[in-house]
């Protein structure tokens, strides 16, 4: 049974996938720092700025979730699916996500964060 309204579902899923994207960003920073890249700093700088933007958004989403008493809990994970429990107003709603769909959502958020950071550099690329 569905107890979450559309806004609550969007908040919970955004928080969930944004948190996953932040984990990927941090892992990528470590990989680049430990790797044999010739120019590490531009990549690391981009990822750190993406991490900052993502953390700021997640903080905002988490505050909105707290006001609604909305929580997301990992239930289990298999090769194909991952299950989460969303709780709100004393109700529970179990949601199953196909792992490739999770990856696609995380990738989309990654691109969103990248675009937000890169907007700052658009003036440099067009005039130079």
User: What are the CA-CA distances from residue 33 to residues 7, 42, 109 (Å)?
Assistant: 38, 11, 23
Q: What per-residue confidence (pLDDT) applies to 120?
A: 72
Residue 28 CA to residue 39 CA, distance in Å, equals 15
Place of tokens 């989460």: 84
Average pLDDT over residues 108-115: 97
DSSP label of 36: -
Gap between the Cα atoms of 63 and 69, Å rounded? 10
Q: Which two tokens stand for residue 49?
A: 């700025």
- Residue 2's pLDDT is what? 77
For residue 128, what pLDDT is reported?
41
Residue 42 tokens, joined: 């531009």
Minimum mean pLDDT range among 1-5, 109-113, 124-128: 124-128
Which of 4-8, 45-49, 111-115 bottoms out in mean pLDDT, i.e. has the lowest?
4-8
User: What span, in angstroms and rounded, lies between the C-alpha atoms of 97 and 13?
Assistant: 10
**What pLDDT is attached to residue 1?**
63
Per-residue pLDDT, 62: 97
42 close to 74: Cβ distance less than 8 angstroms: no
Structure tokens, 19: 């948190």
- Residue-wise pLDDT tens digits, 36-91: 889 999 999 999 999 999 999 999 999 999 999 999 999 999 999 999 999 998 89
Q: How far apart (Å, rounded) are the C-alpha atoms in residues 83 and 86? A: 10
The residue with tokens 């609550």 is 8
């Amino acid at each position: 049974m569905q107890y979450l309204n559309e806004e609550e579902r969007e908040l919970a899923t955004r928080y969930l996938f944004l948190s996953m994207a932040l984990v990927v960003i941090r892992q990528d920073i470590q990989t680049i720092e430990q790797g044999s890249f010739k120019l590490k700093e531009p990549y690391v700088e981009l990822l750190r700025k993406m991490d900052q933007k993502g953390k700021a958004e997640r903080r905002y989403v988490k505050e909105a979730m707290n006001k609604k008493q909305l929580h997301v809990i990992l239930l289990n994970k298999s090769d194909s699916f991952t299950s989460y429990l969303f709780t709100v107003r004393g109700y529970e709603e179990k949601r199953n996500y196909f792992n490739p769909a999770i990856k696609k959502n995380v990738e989309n958020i990654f691109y969103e964060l990248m675009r937000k950071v890169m907007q700052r550099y658009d003036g440099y690329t067009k005039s130079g």
